[in-house]
Amino acid sequence: MLSLDTCDADFMTSALAAAGAAADRGEVPVGAVVVSEGIIVGMGYNRREQSQSPLSHAEMIAIDEASRRLRSWRLKDCDLYVTLEPCIMCTGAIIQARMRRLIFGCVDPKAGAVESLYRLCEDQRLNHQLPVVGGMLAEASSVLLADFFARLRQQKRENRKAERWPSPVEGA
Ligand code: ZN
């Protein structure tokens, strides 16, 4: 029988694959899956640019899909795996859905609401708390993000260069 850790790593690998799909589409690479009884029932990747919606975070899409599939807003038997520490909005949705467990990859010091800026999942003032496992395959997740932003910076540099030195045809 597989240990919980092995299963967790497998599901996080699926979330990483979803994050990769985001990167391929020019979106900040964050991916998430919702798992119920050992089966992925929701999957999402960040698509904020494509949808031009601030709600289109990976977790929101994965939770929405899981709720639809299970025909319930209560996901109390579900675990969420996400490659980056969730923000305030997504942690709010996780709590609203009464999820059982949260497993995330790397921390987000600028926006994380689970460890970094807030600790919403353990806040006793709210009506639901849930256990959290952080740092699952964190290295792979942060490398994906770092590569994406390095490419973006490189692209910006090249664009600036093209503006400064127009091609002979354009300059004529
Ligand atoms: Zn979020």
How far is it, in rounded angstroms, from Cα 168 to Cα 172? Answer: 6
The pLDDT score that the predictor gives to residue 171 is 52
Question: What integer pLDDT is reported at residue 4 of this predicted model?
Answer: 63
Work out the average pLDDT over 67-85.
98
Q: What percent of the chain is predicted at pLDDT more than 70?
A: 93
Ligand 1 mean position, distance from CA 94 (Å): 10
CA of 46 to the centre of ligand 1 (A): 9
Compute, in angstroms, the gap from residue 11 CA to the centroid of ligand 1.
19
pTM metric for this prediction: 0.91
Q: From the CA atom positions of the chain, what is the Rg in Å?
A: 18
Which residue numbers are catalytic?
A: 59
Mark the residues whose beta carbon lies below 5 A from ion ligand 1. Answer: 57, 87, 89-90
Residue 128 corresponds to which amino acid? H
Length of the chain equals 172
